[in-house]
């Protein structure tokens, strides 16, 4: 649960504060074992990760967190260097990227990065880049981009196994089931 104290926000776990007080924007996750916690919020004007009570580097915006089961460190999407028009609400496009276990993925001038899924073993991940090129979407699987599609169906990507995913997409007025395998 999050609580406000003296105009600051704090994550409360088992009735005790977890991590530093934050100015705004708390989002948090607990891994499947219940042993590790990641929280994101704004401290001193910068968005900051706090993993197991230890603050990490800041970002302009952190929009989501997921737990990476292999290393118990956060994975999530960040918006970096958002243009003034984005910050003022005139556009949904911004420079966005996924950060997994502290490693930044490719950056996209996109509407959103969504549907991050990390395989239980932590060895594979995929996510959808909405508006990666104009209004066209793509799926990133372990750092490898699919081709562009007119639209990737929201939330349709799923693991078949550690080396294969499938997703649904529209392209050139066709409905497609796409299978993507790592070589």
Q: In whole angstroms, what is the distance from residue 110 CA to residue 129 CA?
A: 7
Confidence category of residue 73, pLDDT binned at 50, 70, 90: very low
pLDDT one-digit tens code per residue, 25-36: 667 777 666 667
- Please compute the mean of the pLDDT values over residues 143-167 and round it to a whole number: 92
Mean pLDDT of the chain: 76
Q: In whole angstroms, what is the distance from residue 4 CA to residue 87 CA?
A: 25
Half-sphere exposure of residue 13: CA atoms within 13 angstroms, side-chain side: 15
Write out the two tokens for 15: 């009735």
Half-sphere exposure of residue 49: CA atoms within 13 angstroms, side-chain side: 24
- What is the pLDDT, as a whole number, of residue 81? 40
Q: In whole angstroms, what is the distance from residue 74 CA to residue 45 CA?
A: 21
**Cβ-proximal residues to 172 (8 Å cutoff; 6+ apart), any chain:** 150
pLDDT one-digit tens code per residue, 152-162: 998 899 999 88
Q: What is the DSSP letter of 153?
A: P
3-state secondary structure of 34: coil
- Please compute the mean of the pLDDT values over residues 9-14 and round it to a whole number: 78
Query: E strands of the chain, at which residues?
Result: 2-5, 8-13, 16-22, 24-30, 37-43, 46-51, 54-59, 61-68, 73-80, 94-100, 103-104, 108-110, 112-118, 125-133, 136-141, 144-145, 151-152, 158-161, 164-171, 174-181
Asked if residue 79 has pLDDT above 80, the reply is no
Asked if residue 130 has pLDDT above 80, the reply is yes
């Amino acid at each position: 649960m999050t609580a406000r104290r003296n105009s600051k926000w704090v994550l409360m776990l088992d009735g005790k504060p977890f991590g530093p007080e934050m100015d705004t924007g708390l989002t948090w996750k607990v891994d499947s074992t219940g042993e590790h916690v990641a929280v994101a919020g704004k401290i001193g004007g910068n968005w900051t990760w706090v993993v197991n009570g230890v603050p990490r580097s800041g970002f302009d915006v952190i929009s989501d967190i997921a737990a990476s089961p292999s290393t118990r460190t956060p994975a999530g999407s960040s918006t970096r260097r958002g243009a003034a028009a984005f910050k003022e609400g005139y556009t949904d496009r911004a420079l966005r990227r996924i950060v997994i276990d502290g490693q930044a993925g490719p950056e996209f001038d996109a509407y959103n990065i969504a549907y991050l899924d990390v395989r239980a073993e932590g060895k594979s991940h995929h996510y959808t880049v909405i508006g990666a090129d104009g209004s066209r979407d793509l799926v990133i699987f372990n750092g490898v981009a699919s081709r562009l599609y007119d639209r990737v169906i929201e939330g349709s990507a799923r693991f078949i196994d550690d080396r294969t995913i499938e997703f649904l997409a529209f392209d050139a007025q066709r409905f497609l089931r796409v299978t993507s395998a790592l070589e």
